Chains A and B, each alone.
Chain A
Amino acid sequence: MKNRTLKTLTLLTAMVLPVSAMAKADLVIATDAPPKAMNPHAYSSDANLSYMSNFFDGLLQRKAPEGKLGPALAEKWQRVDALTWKFELRKGVKYHNGNDFNAADVKFTFERMKDPKYSKLLNIANSIASIETPDDYTVIFKTKKPVPWFAETMHQNFIVDKESTEKIDDGEYNTRAMGTGAYKFVEWIKGSYIRMTANEDYWEGAPKYKNVDILPITEESTRFAALAGKQVDIVNGVPVTLFDRVKAMPHVEIISQAARRAIYMGIGNTVGTPFEDIRVRQAIAHAINEKEIIEKIMRGQATMANQIPDVPTVGYDASIKRLDYDPVKSKQLLADAGYPDGFEITIAGPNDRYVNDEKICEAVAKYLAKVGLKVKLDVKPKSIFFDELTSNKYHFYLIGWFDGSFDFGRSAEKLLHTPDKDKGMGTYNGAAYSNSEIDSLLIASSSIIDRAEREKALQEINKKSVADVAWIPLHYQQDIFAVVKGKGIKYQPRSDRWIVAKEIK
């Protein structure tokens, strides 16, 4: 009996030892969103793309901090004419499995991206009419209609190895990641961590940290606990509520930088509703005390927005002003519009999508109640919220937006254009705001190739949308990162919040 127990114990120890002897990670990063699948095309969310950017490369890449487009798997690229894009590929790049990277992989990748079974990046893939590969290191795309932002998306269309991907596409195409990236996939323990190890043969040179763990921690206070307990080196998404606490930690350096995402209230102008009257829309805008929202709810970790696009976006116009907080004027406007006693208004919003989203909705509800509106609050999980939003169930809602392609035209087609299923326009125009003048300006702008001219046209649309109160901009989120001091970690956060481990020095 005793002997057997002893034997079992020895056996167990033997099994345990090699595992626990495995190296501890050199760098541990905590993020606020877990990866959903290890398939680079499975999701267009920044959270999933962020993980993938470590295992894969795009034809192009954006580098921290300002996100300028630069070469990656393609060394050169050019827009040959309105419909044609040519990419010259890098030579001598190898996948983690030893396969060579070439033009056939690029063609395969974009064809795979058209299949809804594997890909949610249908948008860009479906805009492609044909892909030609004249030789192993040249790819020529022809698009169906002019897509001015085609190259701008190439940092997030990750290239996969044709041979090995075809093999796994019938089965486990979502559990392991294998590309040309700076890091090799080691393991994904769902709900716990992602482990990766440096690709010593990376074409840009081996990254500094050999073993890197990424811990997705969705709960705000838990992220704080991990930082306080010195269990992580970098935290992406320091909770705003605990900002002061983190700041007071001697071992932590805080980096707070403007995020690209604008938070705004969407509003409709549907005929027969009070919102039809621009004075009502103006009154609502005047009622909201955005300064207080930033101070109290965002703890100062946000910057006031006058418009939806952020500064680096084509279409941003510095001359646009916001409607000031002025409850007296707001009441006056409501009275002028024929609603001296207010009316019933429902504020919709998600409660698990943006920083403090439901708290902002609650605050807006208070401001509107104070100018005499009868407010109902309707916040729900994003899975339900976005479903209802896209079926135009709301008149007034909170939403956040940023466009990875730095082009206001692309956003406006989804947010501002009258909802139109056939044209694929206005998908996220939740309250069905409709302005035929803006619609036609928008359509006209998409075929402008000259960048300066295009910028002017988009600025015009932007100005008109704010003047007509098609939306009420609130603020741009601020991204807060924490880095542990004394380990020599040099980290420059990116504006798209991706954690690209090779950039950490």
Chain B
Amino acid sequence: MSRDKGLMRTIIASKRMQSFLGDPSGMVGGVILFAFFFAALFAPYLAPTDPYDLTTVDLANFLLEPSWMDQGVSAFPLGTDDQGRGILSTILYGLRTSLIVSVSVVTISSLVGIILGMLGAYYGGILDAFIMRTADTVFSFSTTLLAVLLLGVFESRGLFTVIIAICIADWVKYARTIRGSVLEIKEFPYVTAARSSGAGDFRILFRHILPNALPPIFVLMAVDMAVVIMLEATLSFLGVGVPLTEPSLGMMIAIGKNYIYAGMWWMVVFPGITLIGMVVGINLFADWLREELNPKL
């Protein structure tokens, strides 16, 4: 047990180190993040064409260059892919998938992780041992590896399966983080005082302990958003993520990859820039949040 604490401390210590990192360029990150959310939310209104309305997509428009180049057409500002879908429109719809997946995963796994981690830390004993052994194992496999393996073995693939598979691998981060905080906080004088004044477990956990344990979770959630977005793209790129019928940045790049030797760079470069831009935005924001909340882990 004591060894485990030591290990945790090290990671925590390194996180504290990390917390000194970011320049407060959080505003830039926030603006980028907001822009992407906005674009995703209003994709149906912003996109010049609907790339997933089968009745309007026309094969005749396939592999068009971006509109400023010789073969470009103004209806497709960033060109089209091999099915005649506009790249710009597909990116906008792909952003939605990215954000739906990441927001769902972060919400579900943080809830599950917080509850399990908190219960384990508060009650200790077999429950704690079981939860933490599971978490350790899952953690050492890494989210990415586990998600690839789960989805690879799973036959049916869809948005829902992707979310579930990532969640199965992802909740442990939250459980481990919150557990560390709770173990520390539950020995604080005000908590012991509350307990001796007869407050119930539920009340102590949610009124006294949780609020103080949350700041590091917020930072983790922000970082995790970025991680999940990259993960979804990776899974879809490998062909074990969202199916062909759903828009995804990773899938777009996978399709575009076949055309890079033909000099058709736009199918990879634009979704790639979008992906990097979005994740950089989130990471800048996360850095800022870390400075701001300065979670005392």
> A215 in the interface, Cβ–Cβ < 8 Å?
no
A368 to B59, CA, bound (A): 13
- How far is the CB of A280 from the nearest CB of chain B, in Å? 19
Of the stretches A15-23, A125-133, A219-227, A459-467, the one at the interface is A219-227
Q: A292-B59, A366-B57, A377-B245 are in contact. Are A241 and B155 (CB under 8 A)?
A: no
Considering the complex, which residues of chain B in the window 220-254 have a beta carbon less than 8 Å from any beta carbon of chain A?
239, 243-245
A376 to B52, CA, bound (A): 11
- Are A244 and B262 in touch, CB under 8 angstroms? yes
Considering the complex, which residues of chain B in the window 57-105 have a beta carbon less than 8 Å from any beta carbon of chain A?
57-60, 62, 82-83
> Could you jot down 18 A-B contacts, CB within 8 Å?
A221-B258, A221-B261, A224-B261, A228-B261, A242-B258, A245-B261, A245-B262, A292-B60, A296-B60, A297-B59, A297-B82, A351-B244, A362-B83, A362-B244, A365-B54, A366-B55, A377-B243, A377-B245
- How far is the CB of B74 from the nearest CB of chain A, in Å? 21
Closest 7 CB pairs of A and B: A369-B54, A369-B55, A377-B245, A366-B54, A296-B59, A224-B261, A221-B261
> B218 in the interface, Cβ–Cβ < 8 Å?
no
> B139 in the interface, Cβ–Cβ < 8 Å?
no
A370 to B58, CA, bound (A): 10
Which residue on chain B has the smallest CB distance to residue A293? B59
Could you list which residues of chain B lie within 8 angstroms of chain A, going by C-beta atoms? 53-55, 57-60, 62, 82-83, 155, 157, 239, 243-245, 257-263
- Are A296 and B258 in touch, CB under 8 angstroms? no
Q: Mark A21-33, 1 if CB is under 8 A from B, else 0.
A: 0000000000000
Which residue on chain B has the smallest CB distance to residue A292? B59
Which residue on chain B has the smallest CB distance to residue A362? B83
Known: A292-B59, A351-B244, A380-B157. 18 other contacts (CB 8 A): A221-B258, A224-B261, A242-B258, A242-B259, A242-B261, A292-B60, A296-B59, A296-B60, A297-B82, A359-B82, A362-B244, A363-B83, A366-B57, A366-B58, A366-B83, A370-B55, A379-B243, A381-B239
The dominant DSSP class at the A interface is: helix
- Are A384 and B244 in touch, CB under 8 angstroms? no
Instruction: Point out the residue from A225, A359, A379 that lies within 8 Å of B261, measured CB to CB.
Output: A225
Could you list which residues of chain A lie within 8 angstroms of chain B, going by C-beta atoms? 220-221, 224-225, 228, 239, 241-242, 244-245, 292-293, 296-297, 351, 358-359, 362-363, 365-366, 368-370, 375-377, 379-381, 384
Which residue on chain A has the smallest CB distance to residue B155? A384
Which residues of the partner chain A approach B82 to less than 8 Å between Cβ atoms?
241, 297, 359
- Are A241 and B245 in touch, CB under 8 angstroms? no
Which residues of the partner chain A approach B55 to less than 8 Å between Cβ atoms?
366, 369-370
Interface centre among A241, A244, A384, by most chain B C-beta atoms within 10 angstroms, is A241
Instruction: Point out the residue from B54, B57, B244, B258 that lies within 8 Å of A379, measured CB to CB.
Output: B244
A242 to B62, CA, bound (A): 14
A380 to B59, CA, bound (A): 22
A367 to B245, CA, bound (A): 16
Instruction: Point out the residue from B54, B59, B244 that lies within 8 Å of A358, measured CB to CB.
Output: B244
Which residue on chain B has the smallest CB distance to residue A352? B239
Which residues of the partner chain B approach A220 to less than 8 Å between Cβ atoms?
258
